[in-house]
Amino acid sequence: MTYTMRDPTAEASPLMRERLPPPATLANRTIGLFSISKERSSEFLDEIERQFASTGATLLRFEKPTHTKPAPESLIADIIGQCDVVVEGLAD
């Protein structure tokens, strides 16, 4: 007996976008340090900030209101508008 079955998936086709190439140098660039607001993520990003201090880049800090929900679109727009590179992190 042949079975004709219906597709159980969402049948969605996610849009895949190419990642931008990394800049050749970080000098005079703006780096966003984006905390996802898990406990001690600021501590982690503080260390990243120290390590980036000698690059000549401008460092900006951003933070999600809570790690359990996606960042508000306005926050994402801020990051896109101001930064050339983003480091997003981290947790626990």
Partner 1 sequence: MLSSRRHTATDYFAAQEYLHSRGWTDGLPVMPPTEAAVAAMLEYALLPADHLIGVESVRARAISAEKLAINAVMAGCLPSHFPIVVTAFTAMLQEPYLLHGATASTGGNAVLIIINGPVLQELGIDSTFNVLGASDRATAPIGRAIRLVLRNLMDVRPGQVDRSTLGHPGKISFCFGEDETNTSWTPLAQQRGVPEHASAVTVMAAGSPRQLMNEWTTQPEEILDTFVAEIKTNMRHYSIWPGNYAIVVPPQLRTHFESAGWSKSDIADYVFENARIYRRDWADCGKGAVVRHKGDQQYAALPDADHLMVVAAGGPAGGFGAVIPPWLGHKSRAVTMAVGACVDCE
Positions that interact with partner 1 (CB under 8 A):
1-12, 39, 66, 68-70
Between CA 32 and CA 64, with CA 91 as vertex, the angle to 5 degrees is 50
Instruction: Give the residue with the Cβ less far from partner 1, 12 or 27.
Output: 12
CB of 7 to partner 1, least distance (A): 4
Instruction: Give the residue with the Cβ less far from partner 1, 29 or 44.
Output: 44
Instruction: Give the residue with the Cβ less far from partner 1, 25 or 66.
Output: 66
Question: For residues 34 and 41, what is the distance between their CA atoms, to the nearest angstrom?
Answer: 9
Residue in this structure with the two tokens 């359990």, named with its chain if needed: 68
